[in-house]
Amino acid sequence: MGAPSQATTWGRALWALLLATLGSAASQPLGAESVCTARPLAKYSLTFTGKWSQTAFPKQYPLFRPPAQWSSLLGAAHSSDYSMWRKNQYVSDGLRDFAERGEAWALMRELEAAGEKLQSVHEVFSAPAVPSGTGHTSAELEAHARHSLVSFVVRIVPSPDWFVGVDSLDLCDGDRWREQVEVDLYPYDAGTDSGFTFSSPNFATIPQDTVTEITSSSPSHPANSFYYPRLKSLPPIARVTLVRLRQNPRTFVLPPPGPLGGGNEITDSLSGPETPLDCEVSLWSSWGLCGGPCGKLGAKSRTRYVRVQPANHGTPCPELEEEAECVPDNCV
């Protein structure tokens, strides 16, 4: 039998390369960009910092009954086959209860069920509520190679069904754990209540909508509490910082003290951007009666009122009263 031709040799080489490539791809989880191989377990300190101040978000800022504040934080360390919430997807019944009323029992049961049946939730963690728009709260959590993702939610109080959080934040980078991660947070609408303002009454969204990010122009309605048409984007309303805790065989060592303390605290002097808020006025009223002496021009007037006071160097209010000449109908 003669020696194989050059074309046959190249064909065999290409076939072998294709098999090797397919075998390598098949060994990777579907949809996963990388596999975490970091060892050993990693423990993290999570600090949630509220940045919801009246200077950054002056429109309809809640001052009373209740004032601006944050609910307790509820989260989980989990694998890629679990999702606590996701943009453009429907929330679960448990997350609906949490986003609308701050009730966590149903969401806790969902997390526990995912941990028991699917083995996809490694740990559930929580942090105390923050009784102000600016302040911080903290928690500790544990992750390992199969459960390297972190998700959590915090309800915006008061609000119809608005919240902030992270979805499947990966603490692992290949074969090592990330030492520190910081993420700016922005408001989301859970898609279960149709209110526009912080203090809107309960008005269920039927049919239920998906989770959407609230921006400075969406929903595009002047009544929306986050509607700032002069801004390209909203400033972050909160931030989360995760710091890996150093450990030895016997104990964990906390990171050195910094500006972020422990527990839930109010921060009165938290610096942040000043969002300009323009004055908003009503439509003009109808013209009043024309008054004046007979044989001469009289005057009539109309008024409007301030709907939103300007703040942070926003556009000042225009004149609220206007007069015009007229011919008196009933002269004296």
For the chain (length 332 residues), average pLDDT per consecutive 10?
A: 54 48 37 74 96 94 93 96 96 96 93 84 94 96 94 97 97 95 98 94 93 94 90 95 78 43 48 76 84 83 81 82 84 66
Q: DSSP per residue over 177-201, as a string?
A: E-SEEEEEE--EE-SSB---STTPP
Q: Are 304 and 285 in contact (CB under 8 A)?
A: yes
Task: State residue 310's pLDDT score.
Answer: 79
How high is the pLDDT of residue 168?
96
Neighbours of 275 (CB within 10 A): 21
The CA distance from 141 to 124, in Å, is 8
pLDDT at residue number 6: 55
Tokens 């509490």 locate to 225
CB proximity list for 17: less than 8 A, separation 6 or greater = none
- At 30 the pLDDT is 40
| Enclosing H/E stretch for 19 | helix 6-26
The tens digit of pLDDT for each residue in 287-329 reads 888 888 887 888 888 888 877 777 777 788 888 888 888 888 7
The per-residue pLDDT for 100 is 96
pLDDT tens-place string over residues 220-250: 888 899 999 889 999 999 999 999 998 654 4
Closest CA relative to residue 81, chosen from 120, 125, 136, 133 = 120
